């Protein structure tokens, strides 16, 4: 069993729909990143969270440390949200903290 | 703008040659940088942890003599793929964080390596 399980692997939505991507992990962590990877390969860290909920624009990330589960939500999805979203739990707290990666969720938002 | 600069973005080389990839933190110091490899349709795989002023820590299965890492300053780490083979063709990407617990994580834009 992978240390990080993401679902769904692929997701197609119509513009405006509410999107949820789930992540379960099996190891103890200090925090969890949600990453966005665009077709060109560049990666952006959307959130780093260790408890509760964070919101940035139309994006919301939640985490339940006890249940080892995190979700990424996108409200009012837009075609420009089309990308691969990767859940990445982190162990350690310093700059040397290591990430483990989920397989990613390919999101396609159609106009 | 980018806070981690990775260069080159694309490189094509012949089998047997070596390729150097640079990763620079532009406005913060990073005692640690990470190098990842990503094959098509797969997730990122950590190759090694680059530590300023000391030897890199390699993940199991990654050959340290083939993937040379040098972290000579607090803002620069380099990955050299030595004696490249076609199976080394991949997307290589680096990441770095500042030294505070709350420091955000930044990724380079990646390097697409093709070995012919």
pLDDT for A38-60, tens place per residue?
988 889 999 999 999 999 999 99
- The number of C-beta contacts closer than 8 angstroms across A and B is 59
C-alpha–C-alpha distance, residues B48 and B57, integer Å:
5
Phi, psi angle pair for A46, to nearest 5°: -85, -45
C-alpha–C-alpha distance, residues B92 and B37, integer Å:
5
Point out the least confidently predicted range of A1-5, A45-49, A75-79. A1-5
Hey, which residues does B95 pair with through a beta bridge?
B34, B107
Distance from CA of B78 to the nearest CA of A (A): 17
Tell me the residue length of chain B.
Answer: 116
Mean pLDDT to the nearest integer, A81-90 = 95
The closest of A72, A84, A78 to A14, measured between CA atoms, is: A78
The closest of B89, B90, B71 to B23, measured between CA atoms, is: B71
Element (H, E) at A14: strand A10-14
The answer, for A32 touching chain B at a CB cutoff of 8 Å, is no
C-alpha–C-alpha distance, residues A39 and B40, integer Å:
11
pLDDT in tens, B46-99: 999 988 888 899 999 999 999 999 988 889 999 999 999 999 999 999 999 877
What local confidence, expressed as pLDDT, does residue A94 receive? 65
Cβ <8 Å between A95 and B107:
no
pLDDT(A1) > 80: no
* Chain centre to alpha carbon of residue B58: 12
On whether the CB atoms of residues B34 and B46 are closer than 8 A, the answer is: yes
Q: Tell me how many degrees the CA angle B55-B58-B61 measures, rounded to the nearest 5.
A: 150
């Amino acid at each position: 069993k992978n240390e990080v399980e993401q679902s769904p692997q692929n997701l197609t939505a119509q513009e405006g729909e509410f999107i949820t991507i789930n992540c379960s992990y099996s190891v103890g962590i200090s925090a969890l990143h949600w990453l966005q990877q665009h077709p060109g390969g560049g990666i952006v860290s959307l959130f780093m969270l260790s408890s509760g909920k964070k919101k940035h624009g139309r994006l919301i990330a939640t985490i339940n440390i006890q249940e080892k589960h995190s979700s990424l939500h996108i409200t009012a999805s837009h075609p420009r949200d089309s990308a691969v979203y990767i859940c990445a739990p982190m162990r350690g707290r310093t700059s040397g903290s290591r990430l483990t990666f989920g397989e990613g969720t390919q999101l396609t938002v159609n106009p | 703008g980018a806070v981690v600069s990775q260069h080159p973005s694309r490189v094509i080389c012949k089998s047997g040659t070596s390729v150097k990839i640079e990763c620079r933190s532009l406005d913060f110091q990073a005692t640690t940088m990470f190098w990842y490899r990503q094959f098509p349709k797969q997730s990122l795989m950590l190759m090694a942890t680059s530590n300023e002023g000391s030897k890199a820590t390699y993940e199991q299965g990654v050959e340290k003599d083939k993937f040379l890492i040098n972290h000579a300053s607090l803002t620069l780490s380099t990955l050299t793929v030595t004696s490249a083979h076609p199976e080394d063709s991949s997307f290589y990407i680096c990441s770095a964080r500042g030294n505070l617990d709350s420091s955000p994580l930044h990724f380079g834009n990646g390097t697409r390596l093709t070995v012919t």
